[in-house]
Structure 1
Amino acid sequence: MDLRCKSLAVLTVLMLGIVSTSPRACWAVPQESEATRSASPNETASPPAASPSRTAIDSEGRIVQFQRDIAPILRAHCLECHGPDEAKNDLRVDDGELLLQYIEPEDIESSTLYVDYLTTDDEDMLMPPTSHGGPLQPSELALIRTWIGEGADWPEDAVVAVGVADAVEPPIGPRSRSLPQRIWAFQGYFHPATIHFPVALLMVGALFVVLGIKWPEIGTQIPLACLLLGGISAVIATMMGWSFASEQGYGNWDRIDFDSEVFWHRWSGMVVALGSIVLIVVAMVGWWRESDSLRKLWKVGLLVLAAMVGAVGHQGGELSYGKDFYPKAVRILMGTESEGQTPVAGIAKPLDNPQQP
């Protein structure tokens, strides 16, 4: 019995010694680092800071990349009206030099493109216009804003006008409009057709005024009929022109820009329309009173109107087909077409042309 007690006592002492000398080995307590032991018990270890290289996409630390982020937006929403085939107001989004004239790098508030066109409350100044799916989505505006804030970098090898297969997303459809708005927009599309009536009628009327000097019997009734029909059609064509201009994304009537050809074209057309109405009143009063002085007055006025409507029509043709339209026709007639051509490198193929092998 004594031997058992002594053996049990020795075993107990040995176990206590092992536990007291090596507690971590017995209970598998994890080793603490110096940082953990020095930290306060209430503090938690913070995660490692993200490396700047995870967010910056180039050596300058810019997040937005033009070719990847900005070019698809310009291609989908702006290239149709401001591209190589058509450049309204001489603005081309595929030409960095021209587009950057509307941008102040690193200064969003001074960037006309963003403040006056992309985010304006004026629907007539909004780009793209509501009839073409405007305004841009908030995510697209955020990309453009960030791009400008980061310096509006436009790489030398950047390409906007590319083939259809490279377009990443189609333009957003136009928003719904009320019936009066749809009717107003609908009739505007007849402006290119109706504008020929006042141009032809007023010029024919002026021609018969001149012929009436030699043959008086054709110098009054025919010019008067042309003035009546030409004046009325001038008013209608002008009204359609205002609607069509809004549909094509040009500014509102209250926008004054003396450097814009569209400004002069629209208001010159308005002067012709108002002048036609005034001359119609003068002609009718002169015919009713059989006044020779009033008859001479409206005939002279018709000659002036014919010259004005010819100039306005010519300007409209240049806006639609380019300033080189008639000179090109003359060069074709004279057989010197190649003299007016200059080689241009790097012209992108039209969007509707397939890639040639």
Structure 2
Amino acid sequence: MKFLVFTTLACATLALPAMAADEASYRKDIGPLIKAQCLECHGDDAPTLAEFKLDEEKYKKAKLGPRLDTYENLLQIVAFPDTGALQRRLDDGSNTPNKKPGNMYKFLGETDAERAKNLALFKAWVGEGAWNLNRWKARGDVPAITKEQMDYLKLKY
């Protein structure tokens, strides 16, 4: 009996670090990934989301997107006010009717494998069941996000 209890505790103790390591966070995973892949166009010289929305054409010509250099800036394009923008831009096409990837998917890595790995990391960070392309308010073919979908968001710092 003692052996069974000891074995069970040992297995549970060994599994805890592995489970904790699998949980994606901004500091450990997403921030460094954005720094490596995105800050050329979304760094501290890029406009805030509000500035970008005022003159999108100007910033697109300058090859600048909304600033993503902080956790707070990133949350604006995941949760609110530009709900789902990150997901729509980084999606690999598996969530769209036409199966076309988002316009920023190609920047997730040099190879298909690297892009898939980095997309999986973003999906893990957003939260299981939270990766959807919905907006805050419905527009065109894209529906509004529901409270239930918002409840899936994890976005661990």
Query: With structure 1 as the length reference, what TM-score do the two structures score?
Result: 0.24
Query: With structure 2 as the length reference, what TM-score do the two structures score?
Result: 0.49
| Greater Rg over alpha carbons, structure | 1
Relative contact order: is structure 1 or structure 2 higher (C-alpha 8 Å, sep ≥ 6)?
A: 2
The structure carrying a bigger helix percent of its residues is 1
